[in-house]
Amino acid sequence: MSHTLEYEYENELSIDSELICAACLNPFIKPTSTLCGHIFCLYCIKLWLEKDLSCPICRKVLIKNNLKLVTDQSLLKKLDQLQVQCTLCHQAHIKRKRFDYHIDNQCPKIIVSCSAADIKCSWKGQRIDLQSHEMNCSYCLNPKLAIHQVPKNKITPKFTNSHNLKIENLINRYPLYSKISLNNQYLNDNDISVVISLAIINKKCKILDLGHNQIVSQRIIQLAESLTNNTTLKMLSLHQ
């Protein structure tokens, strides 16, 4: 997903002219070449050809089917490395190729939904407020509240799928090297593999709170084994 409206370029005047689209005067997005050798953003040249079938620069006749996405790795790498600033949270020095990740996983000001949205929680707000909301959200604290909202014969699969997705979404919203709280999230033995993979390995959390869940000793051993070579986790809480 592209979020081009949510960033601005740093040091725009210093950006190499070979990276600039002649149609929009911004660095290329999906640079696309024409038969006459000129390069434009894919969106820009397609929009242009809807009203004029000639090249915006040299005026040679163009055919939409002859457009080709640029594969020059040197050009693409330069575009990827451009520094941008998020216009929502104002974080600077983000490489353009990493901006979608910033928006989808890190930006504290982006509007997100509650991880229990699939079981009827209607809350929407900034990511910075999500954790506070979910600590008090009745759907997050007790997914079984969804039972009265679905037909009886669909309760079990609906609850199982929403529970697994909720845990994954909750972990994925935390930044790297942070404290991850899964306290009182109705975790059971089947969730431990997901917790190890996402919270410990991917997020490299420093503190992991698994208190007030339903995890038996065998799975606790699995948790301990996953920490054999771990140098990031400083505290693991399993209080009941």
**Residues 50-103: tens digit of each pLDDT:** 999 999 999 999 998 999 999 999 999 999 999 999 999 999 999 999 999 999
Residues 224 and 139 both lie in one domain: yes
Is residue 138 pLDDT above 50, yes or no?
yes
Residues 150 and 200 both lie in one domain: yes
Per the CB < 8 A criterion, the answer to whether 72 and 60 are in contact is no
In a domain, 78, yes or no: yes
In a domain, 118, yes or no: no
Residues 173 and 74 both lie in one domain: no
Average of per-residue pLDDT values in the chain: 84
Residue-wise pLDDT for 196-234, tens only, equals: 888 888 888 999 988 887 776 666 777 787 787 778 888
Is residue 5 pLDDT above 90, yes or no?
no
User: What mean pLDDT is predicted for residues 20-44?
Assistant: 96
Gap between the Cα atoms of 95 and 101, Å rounded = 10
Residue type present at position 134: E
Alpha helices in 18-82 (DSSP H): 42-49, 73-81
pLDDT band at 240 (very low <50, low <70, confident <90, very high): low
Q: Are strands 207-209 and 235-237 parallel, antiparallel or unpaired?
A: parallel
Of 47-51, 117-121, 140-144, 155-159, least confident by mean pLDDT is: 155-159
User: What mean pLDDT is predicted for residues 103-125?
Assistant: 89
Confidence (pLDDT) at 223: 78
In a domain, 119, yes or no: no
Residues 74 and 150 both lie in one domain: no
Residues 138 and 79 both lie in one domain: no
Q: Which of 78, 69, 84, 66 is nearest to 6 (CA)?
A: 84
CATH number at residue 64: 3.30.40.10
In a domain, 115, yes or no: no
Retrieve residue 152's tokens: 């009886």
User: What mean pLDDT is predicted for residues 1-24?
Assistant: 87
Number of domains in the chain: 2
Per the CB < 8 A criterion, the answer to whether 1 and 100 are in contact is yes
Q: Which of 157, 77, 174 is nearest to 119 (CA)?
A: 157
Radius of gyration of the chain (CA): 24
Q: Which of 116, 124, 118, 94 is nearest to 107 (CA)?
A: 94
In a domain, 120, yes or no: no
Is residue 143 pLDDT above 60, yes or no?
no
Q: Model-level pTM?
A: 0.55
In a domain, 122, yes or no: no
Residues 209 and 135 both lie in one domain: yes
Residues 138 and 227 both lie in one domain: yes
Enclosing domain of residue 69 = 4-106
Q: Which of 183, 240, 171 is nearest to 209 (CA)?
A: 183
pLDDT band at 19 (very low <50, low <70, confident <90, very high): very high
Tokens 């592209």 map to which residue? 2
Confidence (pLDDT) at 146: 47
Q: Which of 150, 143, 10, 30 is nearest to 79 (CA)?
A: 30
Of 153-162, 163-172, 194-203, 204-213, least confident by mean pLDDT is: 153-162
In a domain, 132, yes or no: yes
